């Protein structure tokens, strides 16, 4: 039965008024059972911070928001990987437009905490603003504040200062929990203001810990999880909590630790990063007798994948993708991968689905864990430069479908019970699912062979042959509502339906060139008009059949028969479906065709106000509520006319984007930046390294002082050591042991003369995970007896290890660990220097301890007039640090969103690396002879697209080859007419202490 719209609204109203569904999930499930859910209405409208009370519950099938079923179709985005708050809105609008209804975010403790007890949520760290922006965009939020997050960030998100504290992290050790509680108090104070339950925001789920796979059966682990649960509840977080199991192992399922008896407000989730080269895994939800873990581990909670691989990360040197970088991640996990794997997930009853990553962004500054380089593009659907990729298309199609057809939120497996119909076709795996309430049927057809295969599918009483391209998948439906009519079946994938004015509109999609048949139930014969394109039709046995080959948009109007109101059928090939945008306004939904992106839509009287982007010139066509007569696009009114399809069409196409011109970078100035290497350098203000014990897991060598940087408060970036000694006659060599993380290095000088450089090897796929990155560099020396000597050592120590196995690996030392002279045993007095006080605006991870960083050479406004003019390319052979600075002006048109990067290229034999500072912001590290990254995204806001910018490069060269920079140029990574307003990100210059040094 198809409910009328009026019935539907009445029911929706009942649910929205909130039959009280709060309390335990069991209660909710029962309550939901009693509630007459509207099975064929669309899913709830996108959420906002509406100040009303809402219920957020679940049963074994899906989340229940105000008692209504919803598939959570989420993408992972990290605010800390996009240091320009204005651009958060850009990314979130792009996700919403492409069919996501939720985002999942980590909050990184280290990003917000420069020191114990200090928590900073201002500027680029404004979590409150991020959560407000998500609510304004209409996206639900899954919040994941750790305390441990992993995430390929320094120490897995633990603050640098935590590495120098007592207590075993990720356990119930009180010394650790004391700090955890402080962090959670700080983050929960903000989160509590943005919960959907009281309409303060749109947070609907909150994660405890992250892939916590050790200490699972020990009290130290169970008490830890129970502590986190109780703490978060005490902080007023009343949405369901969950944990993400590392695999479907049943770890931390409800009932496995103390949740104050609140079993029903806690869910089980598990992560999946399957190989794209293998068959997509079944998760056991429907498996006969149940499989290990998965939803069988937690039969009362919905299938929930908090992280499903939407790409993967790449180590220094690029071993993961054969040096090809993230483009290769995107190629191996392409649009067809998404259809195969994500549709398989849906077919396995996964109704809370988050893709890690959907926008990866940038691990700027010292944020990246040593296992990754600066770019965290991840091969995600939205690339690091905020550009949509091919991978958004399947998400767009599936996301819109889930919104229009909530029947997909409650699926049982139809026969056969094992879910597979091997006879469906060679290489084809078929899943046949049914919604027990609406009796809508769904078929996921997956082709695991490399070449196209034809699946035979039982659809509405007949068997239909449907081609499935090699290594691809599709979803077919029968028995769903399309507004006031009912679909018998279609061989094209349904994408959406909505009611706009008098008519219902339904969209079907597929690959261009496919022949499709779509059958509608109709007891009497309707009138069919082909409005655009070619389509055939016939009527018999209460069924209207429409045959169309997918090519652009074919338009067919069906009127009369059982239902007076017309149904406009749009058959769109992939390319055309990408340009169809649904947007729910308070006055009803609109469907927009044409522009590259629709950001917002609003109805004011008879005017439809739209904002969005164009790249090429584009049509603008809008279907919407009755009476609509005027179109406004990005604040300009357009002449338009009504079409036979019931839409308004702009008479002239929207303009595309004008060309963006970028200046060449010139007028460089240079200065040497390693005075610490000179014999006579005055280090008397440096700390003396004379500690004898450490909380590090690295043993302190017998008879030597602690040299670990963290013990002296230097947690990020480079550290300098100066060791003073005398009476070293007979010394033949010096051995410097250090721990540095992948791609760390050490440079040494004796009495101002270079001894050499030691570099950690380039990681391969295995060592990147298992390497401890400890080494001893031995240099021959001949110090004259009876003289005083100084050994200067610069350690680029890279970042702290993550702590994925919960064994305190983030506390492995960084910096020098031990020093030995062969042939002499002088007493060495060490001094150490690292990063100055954290930059109050750019945060603790922005700067390290190079002389130039300590003196503000990287900052705009630094007076470099005394530096020497120079040009690129350079080829200088020298061990040490050299700085280069220049300025440039941009004049990008207002109304153009240009995404700009900095590209560095040179002869790959040259051994040097560069830290890139834009207006004082550390945009990452380039290693010329390691790679694979050559292009660094410069986010607008940090980058002044209309105005002056300062670029500073700190180059470390080891003297074994001539060193660059070679070519350094601005490069355009994408542009569109439209975009969001971008506020400049505060970029202060040097402090008075730094001035003049
Ligand atoms: C999973 C982590 O939860 C996440 O933080 C991130 O590190 C991701 O992996 C990889 O990018 S851990 C899982 C793959 C073992």
Tokens representing 16?
Answer: 């929205």
Residue 41 pLDDT: 55
pLDDT of 670 higher than 60: yes
**428 bridge partner residues:** 447
**791 bridge partner residues:** 723, 750
**Per-residue model confidence as pLDDT tens digits over 400-413:** 999 999 999 999 98
Distance 51 CA to ligand 1 centre (A): 35
Residue 211: active-site member = yes
**Of the candidates 677, 956, 702, which has an alpha carbon nearest to the alpha carbon of residue 817?**
702
Winning range, highest mean pLDDT, from 22-26, 761-765, 811-815: 811-815
**Of the candidates 775, 780, 779, which has an alpha carbon nearest to the alpha carbon of residue 761?**
775
CB 55 near ligand 1, within 6 Å: no
The 3-state secondary structure of 448-459, one letter per residue: CCCCCEEEEEEE
CB distance 941 to 84 below 8 Å: yes
Residue 275, CB half-sphere, CA atoms under 13 Å: how many? 4
Dump the DSSP string for 166-188.
SS-TTS--HHHHHHHHHHHHHHH
Burial readout 275-290 (b: 16 or more C-beta within 10 A, e: otherwise)? ebeeebbbbbbbbeee
CA angle in degrees (0–180, nearest 5) for 700-678-830: 20
**Per-residue model confidence as pLDDT tens digits over 84-114:** 999 999 999 999 999 999 999 999 999 999 9
CB 37 near ligand 1, within 6 Å: no
pLDDT of 29 higher than 60: no
pLDDT of 1 higher than 70: no
Which position has the higher pLDDT, 42 or 614? 614
Closest ligand 1 atom to residue 804 Cα is 12
CB 718 near ligand 1, within 6 Å: no
CB distance 870 to 670 below 8 Å: yes
Catalytic residue among 28, 209, 307, 802: 307
Distance 332 CA to ligand 1 centre (A): 18
Tokens representing 917?
Answer: 């500072």
Tokens representing 594?
Answer: 């044409």
Phi, psi of 652 (to 5 degrees): -115, 145
Maximum Cα–Cα distance across the chain: 110
Residue 38 pLDDT: 38
Dump the DSSP string for 579-645.
TEEEEEETTEEEEEESSSEEEEEEEETTEEEEEEEBSS-B--EEE-STT--EEEETTEEE-EEE-TT
**Rounded (10°) angle between helices 127-137 and 85-97:** 30
Distances in whole angstroms, Cα of residue 159 to Cα of each of 296, 710, 728, 746: 37, 11, 40, 24
pLDDT of 907 higher than 50: yes
Query: Nearest C-alpha to atom 15 of ligand 1 is from which residue?
Result: 246
pLDDT of 264 higher than 90: no
Distance 185 CA to ligand 1 centre (A): 25
State the average pLDDT over residues 438-466.
94
Residue 32 pLDDT: 33
pLDDT of 79 higher than 50: yes
Residue 102 pLDDT: 98
Sheet of 580-585, strand order: 580-585, 588-593, 621-623, 648-650, 640-642
Catalytic residue among 76, 211, 621, 802: 211
Residue 42 pLDDT: 61
CA–CA distance, 128 with 60 (Å, rounded to integer): 32
Residue 262, CB half-sphere, CA atoms under 13 Å: how many? 17
**896 bridge partner residues:** 977
Distance 273 CA to ligand 1 centre (A): 8
Distance 149 CA to ligand 1 centre (A): 9
CB 211 near ligand 1, within 6 Å: yes
pLDDT of 484 higher than 50: yes
Q: Which of 255-259, 639-643, 701-705, 819-823 has the lowest mean pLDDT?
A: 255-259
State the average pLDDT over residues 445-454.
95
Closest ligand 1 atom to residue 802 Cα is 7
Residue 390: active-site member = no
Distance 130 CA to ligand 1 centre (A): 23
pLDDT of 416 higher than 90: no
State the average pLDDT over residues 183-203.
98
Residue 421 pLDDT: 54
CA angle in degrees (0–180, nearest 5) for 528-529-533: 125
Secondary structure (3-state) at 863 = coil
pLDDT band at 299 (very low <50, low <70, confident <90, very high): confident
pTM for this structure?
0.95
* Ligand 1 site-directed mutation target among 108, 151, 209, 272, most atoms within 8 Å of CB: 151
CB 509 near ligand 1, within 6 Å: no
Residue 939, CB half-sphere, CA atoms under 13 Å: how many? 32
CA–CA distance, 537 with 373 (Å, rounded to integer): 56
Query: Nearest C-alpha to atom 9 of ligand 1 is from which residue?
Result: 151
């Amino acid at each position: 039965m198809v409910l009328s719209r009026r019935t539907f609204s009445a029911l929706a109203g009942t649910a929205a008024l909130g039959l009280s569904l709060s309390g335990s999930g069991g209660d909710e499930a029962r309550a939901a059972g009693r509630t007459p859910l509207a099975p064929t209405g669309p899913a709830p409208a996108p959420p906002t911070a509406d100040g009303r009370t809402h219920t957020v519950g679940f049963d074994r099938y899906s989340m229940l928001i105000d008692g209504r079923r919803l598939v959570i179709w989420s993408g992972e985005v990290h605010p800390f990987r996009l240091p320009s708050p204005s651009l958060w809105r850009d990314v979130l609008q792009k996700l919403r437009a492409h069919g996501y209804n939720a985002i999942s975010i980590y909050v990184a403790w280290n990003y917000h905490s420069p020191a114990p007890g200090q928590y900073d949520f201002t500027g680029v760290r404004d979590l409150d603003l991020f959560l407000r922006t998500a609510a304004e965009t209409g996206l639900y939020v899954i919040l994941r504040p750790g305390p441990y997050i992993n995430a390929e960030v320094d120490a897995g998100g633990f603050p640098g200062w935590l590495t120098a504290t007592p207590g075993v992290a990720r356990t119930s050790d009180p010394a650790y929990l004391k700090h955890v509680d402080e962090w959670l108090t700080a983050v929960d104070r903000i989160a509590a203001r943005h919960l959907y339950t009281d309409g303060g925001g749109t947070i609907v789920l909150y994660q405890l810990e992250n892939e916590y796979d050790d200490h699972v059966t020990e009290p130290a682990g169970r008490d830890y999880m129970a502590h986190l649960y109780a703490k978060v509840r005490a902080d007023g977080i009343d949405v369901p909590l969950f944990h993400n199991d590392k695999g479907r192992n049943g770890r931390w399922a409800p009932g496995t630790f103390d949740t104050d008896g609140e079993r029903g407000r806690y869910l089980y989730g598990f992560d999946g990063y399957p190989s794209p080269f293998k068959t997509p895994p079944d998760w056991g939800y429907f498996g006969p007798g149940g499989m290990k873990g998965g939803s069988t581990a937690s039969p009362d909670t919905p299938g929930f994948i908090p992280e499903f691989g939407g790409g993967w990360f790449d180590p220094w040197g690029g071993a993961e993708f054969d040096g090809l970088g993230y483009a290769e991640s995107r190629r191996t996990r392409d649009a067809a991968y998404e259809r195969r794997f994500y549709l398989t997930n849906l077919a396995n009853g996964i109704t809370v689905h988050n893709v890690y990553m959907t926008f990866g962004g940038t691990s700027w500054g010292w944020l990246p864990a040593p296992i990754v380089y600066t770019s965290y593009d991840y091969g995600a659907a939205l690339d690091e430069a905020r550009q949509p990729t091919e991978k958004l298309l399947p998400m767009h199609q599936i996301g819109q479908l889930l919104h229009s057809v909530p029947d997909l939120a409650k699926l049982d497996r139809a026969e056969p019970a094992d879910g597979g119909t091997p006879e469906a076709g060679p290489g084809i795996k078929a899943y046949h699912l049914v919604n027990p309430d609406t009796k809508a049927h769904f078929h996921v057809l997956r082709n695991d062979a490399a070449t196209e295969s034809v699946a035979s599918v039982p659809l509405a009483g007949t068997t239909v042959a449907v081609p499935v391209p090699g290594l691809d998948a599709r979803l077919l439906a029968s028995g769903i509502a399309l507004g006031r009519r009912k679909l018998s079946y279609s061989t094209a994938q349904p994408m959406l339906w909505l009611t706009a004015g008098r008519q219902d509109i339904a969209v079907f999609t597929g690959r261009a060139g496919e022949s499709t048949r779509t059958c509608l139930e109709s007891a009497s014969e309707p009138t069919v008009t082909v409005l655009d394109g070619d389509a055939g039709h016939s009527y018999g046995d209460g069924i209207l059949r429409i045959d169309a080959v997918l090519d652009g948009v074919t338009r067919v109007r069906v009127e009369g028969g059982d239902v007076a109101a017309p149904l406009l059928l749009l058959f769109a090939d992939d390319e055309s479906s990408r340009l169809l945008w649904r947007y729910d306004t308070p006055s009803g939904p609109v469907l927009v065709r044409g522009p590259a992106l629709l950001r917002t839509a609003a109805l004011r009287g008879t005017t439809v106000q739209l904002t969005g982007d164009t790249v090429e010139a584009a049509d603008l066509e809008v279907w919407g509520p009755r009476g609509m007569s005027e179109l406004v696009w990005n604040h300009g009114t357009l002449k338009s006319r009504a079409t036979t399809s019931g839409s308004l069409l702009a008479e002239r196409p929207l303009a595309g984007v004008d060309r963006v011109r970028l200046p060449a970078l010139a007028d460089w100035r240079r200065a040497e930046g390693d005075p610490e290497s000179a014999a006579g350098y005055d280090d008397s203000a440096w700390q003396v390294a004379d500690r004898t014990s450490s909380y590090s897991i690295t043993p302190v060598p017998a008879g030597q002082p602690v040299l670990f940087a963290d013990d002296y408060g230097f947690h990020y970036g480079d550290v300098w050591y100066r060791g003073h000694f005398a009476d070293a006659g007979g010394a033949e060599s010096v051995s410097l042991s250090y721990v540095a993380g992948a791609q760390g290095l050490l440079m040494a000088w004796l009495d101002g003369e270079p001894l050499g450089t030691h570099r950690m090897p380039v990681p391969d796929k295995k060592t990147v995970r298992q390497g401890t990155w400890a080494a001893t560099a031995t240099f021959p020396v001949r110090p004259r007896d009876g003289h005083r000597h100084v050994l200067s050592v610069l350690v680029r120590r890279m970042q702290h290890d993550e702590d994925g196995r919960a064994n305190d690996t983030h506390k492995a030392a960084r910096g020098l660990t031990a020093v030995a002279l062969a042939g002499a045993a002088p007493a060495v007095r060490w001094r150490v220097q690292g990063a100055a006080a954290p930059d109050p605006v750019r945060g603790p991870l922005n700067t390290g301890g190079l002389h130039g960083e300590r003196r503000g050479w990287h900052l705009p406004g630094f007076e470099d007039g005394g530096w020497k003019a120079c040009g690129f390319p350079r080829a200088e052979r020298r061990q040490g640090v050299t700085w280069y600075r220049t300025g440039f002006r941009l004049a990008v048109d207002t109304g153009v969103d240009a995404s700009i990067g900095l590209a560095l290229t040179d002869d790959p034999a040259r051994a040097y690396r560069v830290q890139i500072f834009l207006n004082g912001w550390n945009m990452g590290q380039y290693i010329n002879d390691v790679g694979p990254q050559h292009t660094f995204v410069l986010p607008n806001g940090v980058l002044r697209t209309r105005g002056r910018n300062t670029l500073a490069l700190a180059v470390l060269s080891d003297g074994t080859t001539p060193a660059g920079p070679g070519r350094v140029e601005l490069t355009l990574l994408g542009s569109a007419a439209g975009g969001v307003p971008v506020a400049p990100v505060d970029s202060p210059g040097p402090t008075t202490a730094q001035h003049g040094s």
